[in-house]
Amino acid sequence: MDENRVDSHGGGMQQIVEFILELDKLKGVTRKTRPLGLERYENSAEHSWQIALMATSLAHHAGTAVDINRVVGMLLVHDIGEIDTGDTLVYAEGGWEERKAAELAAVKRIFGMLPEQQGAPFLALWREFEQGETAEARFAHAVDRAMPVLLNLANEGQSWRENGVSHERVVRRIAPPIKAGCPALWNYLEVRLEEARQKGWFGA
Amino acid sequence: MDENRVDSHGGGMQQIVEFILELDKLKGVTRKTRPLGLERYENSAEHSWQIALMATSLAHHAGTAVDINRVVGMLLVHDIGEIDTGDTLVYAEGGWEERKAAELAAVKRIFGMLPEQQGAPFLALWREFEQGETAEARFAHAVDRAMPVLLNLANEGQSWRENGVSHERVVRRIAPPIKAGCPALWNYLEVRLEEARQKGWFGA
Ligand SMILES: [Ca+2]
């Protein structure tokens, strides 16, 4: 980076612009689900947008009362590490520790592009989500886990079938976080997942 | 919608799920800019995500102190009307009133899918953005207008050249809202736009 440029604009404007443009890369990180009615795969940027609105719509169902602004903040930043690491199917087993270490290095790099005053709060949100200990983080996890399930339920199990994912594996991975963060959403999904199982929408 | 289903889940869960899935359509509304390094056009869902983070990063440069949470809320919902109306190039002239009426009808339909308690705050955010009268709305507009400019500056003027948009037209459309909402950002962009003009990155 050209130091003169940073200084001449003041307030870290050039650094902020470079950060915003770095975020563009999340639009190219694809997930395993397809948007309804589209052939392409969903990307992590549009996914982050959707779950921020999902959380806002569902806030009154959170297991514990939450500060929805912090939930939205977490959801907007939680996938940014994938700019360096790529997406991994949430049902993938193993390699979790290594993956999380790589994502931490990635977000330190990316949020480190910003002046400290702007970068530190983003990193704090990212860590809060990862640690999953606050009511806000638990609710955010519930929403993040439920979103691809809702798409699959509307898609005849597209990513479950394409990736050979069983009903039992989905329930094992998503029931605990969704129950913990948004019990009413789990009650809803449990019924829908059983219907989907009966329709043969799972793989394996 | 199946009324029994709504009632049986309580708290409007089925309505909320249908709203979230309706939002999926914004992933298919394409803009005129391309994400950096990708061949495809950007969609309005990923754009909304990016400008929410842009606003958060730039909040200390807002012309007047803002409640950043309301800014983020506005930016996350401001394009949802395009689900019914499609995107229009921001530099397009004419037809503005008709377009705005169509977008209002669209967001009333879409937010109306939610229970009143969840739908009304979204509609209020959308209206606040459209009216552009609060400090938060002005800042949100500045960020929304600046984002495609930043992409074009990083893209050698891709959408300006593809759509025959001149330097003068860009400045005329974006200078007033960006100056009003985020003067430091305008100071930055003015210099960068002049550099781009000298490099021949505009059309027309
Ligand atoms: Ca996610």
Tokens standing for A123? 């990193």
Measure the CA–CA gap between A51 and A139, rounded to whole angstroms. Answer: 11
pLDDT at A89 (0 to 100) = 57
For the ranges A5-9, A116-120, B19-23, which has the lowest average pLDDT?
A: A5-9
For the ranges A29-33, A104-108, B89-93, B161-165, which has the lowest average pLDDT?
A: B89-93
Residue of A nearest to B154 (CA): A21
Chain A interface disruption, residue of B13, B17, B66, B143, most A CBs within 10 A = B17
State pLDDT tens for residues A35-45: 999 999 999 99
Contact B57 A117 (CB under 8 A): no
State pLDDT tens for residues B147-175: 999 999 999 999 999 999 999 999 999 99
In Å, what is the CA distance from A16 to each residue of A34, A72, B54, B144, B167? 31, 20, 8, 15, 24
Residue of A nearest to B79 (CA): A49
Q: Are A149 and A158 in contact (CB under 8 A)?
A: no
- Residue B42 touches chain A, beta carbons under 8 Å: yes
pLDDT at A100 (0 to 100) = 87
State pLDDT tens for residues B181-204: 999 999 999 999 999 999 999 997
Q: Which residues in chain B are contacts of A56 at CB distance < 8 A?
A: 73, 76, 118, 121-122
User: Is residue B30 classed as helix, strand or coil in its secondary structure?
Assistant: strand
State pLDDT tens for residues A156-198: 999 999 999 999 999 999 999 999 999 999 999 999 999 999 9
pLDDT at A86 (0 to 100) = 86
Contact A53 B77 (CB under 8 A): yes
State pLDDT tens for residues A40-76: 999 999 999 999 999 999 999 998 999 999 999 999 9
pLDDT at A8 (0 to 100) = 46
Tokens standing for A101? 């270490």
Contacts of A141 (CB under 8 A, 6+ apart): A129, A132, A177, A180, A181
Judge whether residue B4 has pLDDT over 60.
no
Report how far ligand 1's centroid is from the alpha carbon of A169 (Å): 18
Contact A72 B77 (CB under 8 A): no
Gap from A57 CA to chain B (nearest CA, Å): 6
Q: pLDDT grade, residue B93 (50/70/90)?
A: low
Measure the CA–CA gap between A17 and A22, rounded to whole angstroms. Answer: 9
CATH of A3-199, one of 1.10.260.40, 1.10.3210.10, 1.10.287.40, 1.20.58.100: 1.10.3210.10
CATH of B12-29+38-199, one of 3.10.510.20, 1.10.3210.10, 3.40.640.10, 3.40.630.10: 1.10.3210.10
Judge whether residue A131 has pLDDT over 90.
yes
Contact A150 B114 (CB under 8 A): no
What is the arithmetic mean of pLDDT over B22-43? Answer: 96
What percentage of chain B exceeds 90 in pLDDT? 86
The minimal CB distance from B13 to the residues A27, A122, A184 is found for A184
Measure the CA–CA gap between B96 and A24, rounded to whole angstroms. Answer: 29
Contact A52 B50 (CB under 8 A): no
Q: pLDDT grade, residue A90 (50/70/90)?
A: low
ipTM of the complex: 0.93
Contact B35 A28 (CB under 8 A): yes
Instruction: Calculate the average pLDDT of chain A.
Output: 92
Q: pLDDT grade, residue B92 (50/70/90)?
A: low
Report how far ligand 1's centroid is from the alpha carbon of A54 (Å): 12
